Copies of this chain bind each other. A is one copy, B any other.
Amino acid sequence: MSNALSPAALDQLFRTARTPTDWRAVPVGDDLIRELYDLTKWGPTSANSSPARFVWVRSPEGKAQLAELAMEQNRPKILAAPVTVIVGHDLDFPETMPKLFPARGEMMKQMFLRPGVAEITGFRNGSLQGGYLIVAARALGLDCGPMSGFDNAGVDRVFFAGTRIQSNFICCLGYGKPESIFPRNPRLTFDEAGRFA
């Protein structure tokens, strides 16, 4: 049984965390990206299927290719951010089940190979892992700029050629310029977003 994290930690993860639209020229090193993956990977997924796949785009060539495939207003963000990660999910993830769930790997693999199951399980759990990535990045002191405004099919052709990985969303990572943050929009109240039953 754990205690709640400190109010400052809850602020950093959720309450005061914001989405910058421009980025400081402060690099994000390999070690920090690996540490980010090593937090993200522990988040729970269906039968530990872990379908998310990540391309950490940071070379000038990679950024130019990705920016080219993004909506106009997202291009400068990708070019300015030290890293933009492409979050995808591998429709071939059932093949990994014997490794990821040794006790019942073959059974789980067959279950996920039923028609339509890999698509929905991959998208659901790859998105969950994307959520873990965003909160984990903030836990490590990074800012996040998640975006859906890009050509998914084009990104799949350029970054996931020869695989059945499908891009989901992309996310700038780094240290945002505070002056690039828009005023915060309202959220739904507890009662607007749900109910007790």
Q: Is B124 touching A134 in the complex (CB atoms < 8 A)?
A: no
Query: Contacting A39 at CB < 8 Å: which of B15, B48, B56, B132?
Result: B15
B139 touches A134 (CB 8 A): no
Q: Which residues of B contact A21 (CB under 8 A)?
A: none
Closest residue of chain B to A100 (Cβ to Cβ) is B185
State A40–B10 Cα separation when bound (angstroms).
11
Q: Can you offer 9 A-B residue contacts whose CB atoms are under 8 A?
A: A1-B26, A2-B141, A43-B135, A100-B186, A100-B187, A100-B188, A123-B127, A124-B169, A131-B134
Chain A residues with a Cβ under 8 A of chain B = 1-6, 9-10, 12-15, 17, 19, 26, 30, 33-34, 37-44, 46, 48, 50, 52-59, 62, 96, 99-102, 121, 123-125, 127-132, 134-136, 138-141, 144, 146, 148, 159, 168-169, 175, 185-188, 190, 193-197
The 3 closest A-B pairs by CB, nearest first: A131-B131, A54-B194, A127-B127
